[in-house]
Structure 1
Amino acid sequence: MTLEKNHRTENWKKNIILFLSSQTISLFGSALVQYAMMWHITLHTESGMMMTLFIICGFVPTFILSPFAGVWADRYNRKILIILSDGFIATATLILAIVFLTGYDAVWLLFLMAAIRAIGTGIQTPAVGAILPQIVPKENLTKVNGINGSLHAIIMFVAPMVSAALLTMATLEVIFFIDVITAVIAIFTLLGFLKISAHEKASDQQPPSYFEDFKLGVTYIKSNSFLKQFFLFFGVFFILMAPAAFLTPLQVTRSFGDDVWRLTAIEIAFSVGMMAGGGIIASWGGFPNKIHTMTLASLLMGICTLALGIVPVFWVYLLFMAIFGIAMPIFNTPTTVLLQEKVDESYLGRIFGVFGMISTSMMPIGMLIFGPMADVIKVEWLLVGTGILILILSFFLGVNKVLLETGKPVVEEPAK
């Protein structure tokens, strides 16, 4: 066994608890601020265009930065990159809080903050995806990613309620300061307690050209039939998911009523489902072949998308929304683990960077297609149509020989 593998297998449980704890604390503070800024803009502008601009500022920098951040995650110490991105966001948030305290609280500053936070997220996401295999033995990756998914779901469930409560009792600046404190705690935890060495490539002499490293990553994808077909599947899948992800609140308002509690109910049902799904995949682990697990989950999502377009009773609608939430981590966890297991560790950052580009761009592209259609076609018909297409796509996923071969369980070589 190599020294790095020895390091990974010794005390890995302690390391992953520290790592997930730090990331959960940081994510909670970030989620509080994200919701608070969104609601502040909504309440003070009452403008759909302003909300659209805020959303664009929140995803475009991540999309643009993803391929660069992927190279950085392969070139440099991933733990340091995570710390720097957290510190970058916390510093910007602190400056914004001080500016707001002086009385200058222009909305454009919140757009700027959304873009800055997106830059930090763009740097951090490939590094987090690539660092987990350095900490966790391969046979435990599914369980750990499932637990991580459940933690994220819990935060997405709790953060809106806490943020709303704070806004009724305190100012926006107070929430900014809370985010700064949670970031400092996360950084201190990583710096002071998490012992993990740089991965092998980060310790080597780096090529002089950044673009040479990037081209090597592109060449790696082109020469890998699994990655080419995997990314093609996800590109189509994310486009088809757009109506279920973005248009269901509009559908509920039009078809069931514009009561705020209904919109809250669908978010709660989905979040509770995601928490349950994370627990299921963490304890079950999925089928031996990860593509079979992904196929089952995508079939469930296709069925739920179709059902959301035809059920006439709101409580039944909520049930299918909860099942949709359950299917999400059962789908996402083996997806992440498959990349962590099958991609050469020296390319992991770049692969997660490309994957990040796909995940952040395809759903907005889907909205460019389906959003205008929702003004001339009932959302129910869009859900029925995309649900059927997701079911067809799931069938092709389940019979793809290249993906099925790659999805087979990893057989660990005996220690020498």
Structure 2
Amino acid sequence: MEPNQPTSLRKFLILWSGQVASVLGTEMTNFAITLWAWELTGQATPLALIFFFTRTPKVIAASFAGVLVDRWNRKQLMMIGDGMAGISTVVLLSLLLTDQLAIWHLYVAGAVNGLFGYFQDLAYSTSMSQIVPKQHYARATAMDSYLTYSGSAILAPAIAGILYPLIKLPGILLIDLVTFLIAVGTVWFTTIPQPKVEAKPFSREQLWEEFTFGFRYIFRHPSLLAILLFLLNSNLLTNAAWAIQPVMILARSQDNATALASVQAAIGIGGVVGGVLLSVWGGPKRRIHGLLLGQTFGELSSVFLGLSNSLPLWMGTGFLAAIFSPFIGSSNQAIWLSKVDPAVQGKVFASRYLIAQLAAPLGLAIAGPLADKVFEPAMQPGGFLTPLFSGIFGTGNGAGMALQFTLFSILGVLVGVGGYAFRTLRDVETLVPDYDIKTSDPTRSLVGKER
């Protein structure tokens, strides 16, 4: 075991507890904003655009954030990310209390939170190998990425659904601020090791080398690139479907907020069950199976969610879809944490995010207009798609979105199954050595040069 390798999960658990509180507050706010925006507009496009403006700055930031994360103090970056989230919440609350809040304000807030949140997430994820023992990578990822978010998806809609009629959006935003302070406190009082990196001056040549290092590293490892191309396609299809899922449920349930909260809670329970299973089990020995099979079965469950038109079926299929979600992210993260040297994970992980998420904003951008301009009109009585699909989805409000959701989910299933056809992707764990195993691989000199 290396001298500086962590031996316990203590620091991780402290940080994780703060993140649980923060994400709970954020998810309560997201649920309340969904209700507020749907009441205001009655369309899918504004809600999809909130996701778009939140996600796009992350993709842009990925082109340069890795260099900064590898050079700057990661704890301070996490604090800055939390701080900006708190400031944006205060601004939204002020606008709301003065009756000036508009939809476009949510786009701006989403962009700010997306940009600084990405720095926070990257600083946090690249610190994992410094605070989590190697054998617990998949377990810690499942806890952080899935138990946290899925647990919040259970509690947040239920709490926000009860409180929203009483305290409305201002009260929910105040709760979000309290949970933000808890998260900041856990980061403030936790020591986060910083990997030793030789600080070089930012000459023009050095700057270019730093910015392009992650891409050069990935392209020298075709199997790692194959994972990202797989995720590129997956993210496009998933975002084009799930961006309209909340409004699809609202439209199909006659604007029943309780129904939406119940479905979101069922999805959260599924994520928790999947996360607990993965945390206890540790995941498949070959992580690539968790990635490919998680994609396949998760999207297959989404197909049945789109085909459903009753609350029990929405809850059941949403639960099943969410069970498989932790297997995708945690298996993917475990592969990268074991293959990439911690000293360069910031640059590599940022480039990884940029490539994998490049198509996600496109999926989010097309989701709303496709629903409002194409699928919804086409599935109204007399619409041009009703002769083909009305027997399956019915007609009227929400039928077009259900068709759209189902079609993109079917394509997602094909992506998951198709991944097994490519050896470069299927055998990534044997084709790319772990970073702490000595090898004659010529790309190792690339890592050494940048340390």
TM-score, scaled relative to structure 1? 0.84
Q: Output the CA distance in 2 between the equivalents of 1:120 and 1:135.
A: 22
Cα distance, 1:71–1:34 mapped onto 2, change above 3 Å: farther
Aligned to 2:351: 354
1:85-115 superposed Cα distances (whole Å, 9 cap, x missing partner): 11222234335545655x3533244443222
- Which deviates the most, 150-159 or 352-361? 352-361
Cα distance, 1:349–1:93 mapped onto 2, change above 3 Å: same
In percent, how many aligned pairs have the same letter? 21
Aligned to 1:165: 162
Aligned to 1:392: 414
User: How many residues of Structure 1 are paired with residues of Structure 2 in the alignment?
Assistant: 406
Q: Output the CA distance in 1 between the equivalents of 2:250 and 2:53.
A: 26
- 1:230-309 correspondence runs (5 A): 230-242=227-239, 244-248=241-245, 257-258=253-254, 260=256, 261-308=258-305
Q: Output the CA distance in 2 between the equivalents of 1:126 and 1:354.
A: 11
Alignment RMSD: 3.2
Q: Secondary structure at the match of 2:427?
A: helix
1:389-411 superposed Cα distances (whole Å, 9 cap, x missing partner): 43433233234323343335969
CA contact (8 A) 1:129 1:340 kept: no
Shift of 1:302: 3.7
Shift of 1:180: 3.0
Q: Output the CA distance in 2 between the equivalents of 1:32 and 1:45.
A: 20
Q: Output the CA distance in 2 between the equivalents of 1:335 and 1:184.
A: 31
Aligned to 1:119: 115
Shift of 1:251: 5.8
Cα distance, 1:188–1:391 mapped onto 2, change above 3 Å: closer
Of 37, 43, 52 in structure 2, the residue corresponding to residue 41 of structure 1 is 37
Aligned to 2:337: 340
Shift of 1:136: 0.5
Aligned to 1:204: 199
1:134-178 superposed Cα distances (whole Å, 9 cap, x missing partner): 111111111111122112111122223323434333354444343
In the alignment, is residue 406 of structure 1 matched against residue 428 of structure 2? yes
1:45-79 superposed Cα distances (whole Å, 9 cap, x missing partner): 55655445434332232222232223222222222
In the alignment, is residue 217 of structure 1 matched against residue 214 of structure 2? yes
- Which deviates the most, 273-282 or 156-165? 156-165
Unaligned runs of 5+ in 2: 379-384, 390-399, 439-451
CA contact (8 A) 1:277 1:327 kept: yes
Cα distance, 1:106–1:334 mapped onto 2, change above 3 Å: same
In the alignment, is residue 26 of structure 1 matched against residue 48 of structure 2? no
CA contact (8 A) 1:41 1:50 kept: yes
1:277-309 superposed Cα distances (whole Å, 9 cap, x missing partner): 111111112221101222222221243244345
Q: Output the CA distance in 2 between the equivalents of 1:147 and 1:358.
A: 25
Q: Output the CA distance in 2 between the equivalents of 1:314 and 1:44.
A: 24
Cα distance, 1:312–1:153 mapped onto 2, change above 3 Å: closer
Shift of 1:310: 5.0
In the alignment, is residue 155 of structure 1 matched against residue 152 of structure 2? yes
Aligned to 1:4: 4
CA contact (8 A) 1:153 1:271 kept: yes
Shift of 1:344: 2.4
Aligned to 1:56: 52
1:205-245 superposed Cα distances (whole Å, 9 cap, x missing partner): 35445443111222112212122111111111122324542
In the alignment, is residue 69 of structure 1 matched against residue 69 of structure 2? no
Of 314, 318, 323 in structure 2, the residue corresponding to residue 321 of structure 1 is 318
Q: Output the CA distance in 1 between the equivalents of 2:255 and 2:41.
A: 21
Letter matched to residue 284 of structure 1: W
Of 140, 145, 153 in structure 1, the residue corresponding to residue 141 of structure 2 is 145
Letter matched to residue 4 of structure 1: N
- 1:80-99 correspondence runs (5 A): 80-98=76-94
Shift of 1:131: 1.3
Cα distance, 1:343–1:374 mapped onto 2, change above 3 Å: farther
CA contact (8 A) 1:304 1:323 kept: yes
CA contact (8 A) 2:143 2:279 kept: yes
Q: Secondary structure at the match of 1:353?
A: helix
1:315-359 superposed Cα distances (whole Å, 9 cap, x missing partner): 445423221110111222111111111122233223332343456
Q: Output the CA distance in 2 between the equivalents of 1:267 and 1:233.
A: 27
1:337-384 superposed Cα distances (whole Å, 9 cap, x missing partner): 111111222332233323434565534423527646534455566566
Letter matched to residue 136 of structure 2: N
Q: Output the CA distance in 1 between the equivalents of 2:66 and 2:414.
A: 32
Aligned to 2:444: none
Cα distance, 1:218–1:279 mapped onto 2, change above 3 Å: same
- Which deviates the most, 222-231 or 245-254? 245-254
CA contact (8 A) 2:299 2:412 kept: yes
Cα distance, 1:169–1:285 mapped onto 2, change above 3 Å: same
Letter matched to residue 398 of structure 1: Y
Letter matched to residue 403 of structure 1: L
